[in-house]
Chains A and B, each alone.
Chain A
């Protein structure tokens, strides 16, 4: 799995951080998503896919 994020689409909802805190964080200044781990271990894949589906700005792409 390889993850990319589109910072300019992100609306700072932080839902990804709630679903997969090991993979996503938010910048302090403006809440924009920070990708902590672009190739997370398999145990995190389900959470990452959920995060990508529910991200309200469609800012997370998962490549598998």
Chain B
């Protein structure tokens, strides 16, 4: 190998990949760090895409995760506009699609390739049909929304669709929010809070189509004209945003000796998928010891935390004497969402709860705290419209899940304080 020493390759140059690269350097890896990203841009942040970039409040440069000087200071072998196309776990070799089909020999690899948006079949290349994952996607939709008086149909009422609908309404466009769920973000927030959120969207003038199945997009001369629903309804639109979830980007990891790729890259408690191969961010499904099961989290905070954890554990595997022992990655999951002037904060696991308790604060129906969990245990907590101190104080409830009785008592104490 080159005089610069052994190499760690980080595949995916976004939130998780950057955190991993930064972590590797900071923890003292003095070999090569090759960061491979298939987008042309230096690492940028995605949450603002459906908020400040879509609304036009931020120029796209503001989404940069690090300025040029800071990035240069990390001394990375940064290969942008380059895709990893294959991985050989036995030889720890990554193949790139850079024309020469460069093969990188690696001491270790961090997989941080994120997810790709699902699309509706038959809509490729149709003008006016959008997804929202990359800066390019956001700018394309922004260009359309920069003109006044558009009709936007949003297919999918998860967090992404709900945020985009809020921004488009804020810009004065006609907005339809079409979802298979009965209320926006219902899979995560449950029916009761979802109904509140539905009310907020309706009050802002969004037309909701809950519990509907989309059968297709009507196209006229290569342009989207509207959305067809299974019940025969037709939603006319100039633009259609398809926000129906995503698939982990694991194609480059496929092969005869591939690790478990059944829902993202399957990893153990240390974020290791195979010797020398670690996963981080949206793409990684790992065993969370505290929860006692595998989880995969598509949230921004986790990308940074897991990138750092994967870097630590990979170094510990490569040289335990120098870098210490591996430790299990056991974060308290966190996400936030902004819709209109509502701010949602959530800790722990909300999705799949069989029991929910909503505590309203004061007279304002949009100030609340809610607990989520299974029959015996609280696993997650949500706050809407809380003060920062109140929001932060929710975290311990999800960090050390208790019985419903304990959690309710603690929640009342916390938000009363």
Contact = CB atoms under 8 A, between A and B. Distances in A.
Given A28-B388, A53-B22, A13 B308 contact: no
Contacts of A9: 62
Given A53-B22, A56-B47, A58-B65, A18 B395 contact: yes
B391 A31 contact: yes
B45 interface: yes
Contact of A58 (B45, B308, B334, B392): B45
Contacts of A58: 45, 64-66
Contact of A11 (B47, B65, B395): B47
A56 B343 contact: no
B389 interface: yes
A14 B335 CA distance: 11
A2 B300 CA distance: 26
Contact of B301 (A28, A54, A61): A54
Interface residues of A, number: 22
A38 interface: no
Contacts of A54: 19, 301, 304-305, 308
Contact of A50 (B15, B65, B308): B308
Interface in B81-96: none
A61 B392 CA distance: 22
Nearest to B73: A64
A28 to B, nearest CB: 6
Nearest to A33: B388
B35 to A, nearest CB: 15
A3 interface: no
Chain B at the A interface: mostly helix, strand, loop or mixed?
helix
B70 interface: yes
A9 B307 CA distance: 21
B336 interface: yes
A53 B70 contact: no
A53 B20 CA distance: 9
Contacts of B45: 57-58
A18 B345 CA distance: 15
Contacts of A18: 392, 395
Which of A18, A49, A57, A58 has most B Cβ within 10 Å? A58
Contacts of B403: none
20 contacts: A11-B47, A13-B336, A14-B388, A14-B391, A18-B392, A26-B392, A28-B387, A30-B388, A49-B26, A50-B308, A53-B308, A54-B19, A54-B301, A54-B305, A54-B308, A56-B15, A56-B304, A57-B45, A58-B66, A61-B70
Interface of A: 9, 11-15, 17-18, 26-28, 30-31, 49-50, 53-58, 61
Interface of B: 15, 19, 22-23, 26, 45, 47, 62, 64-67, 70, 300-301, 304-305, 307-308, 334, 336, 338, 343, 345, 387-389, 391-392, 395
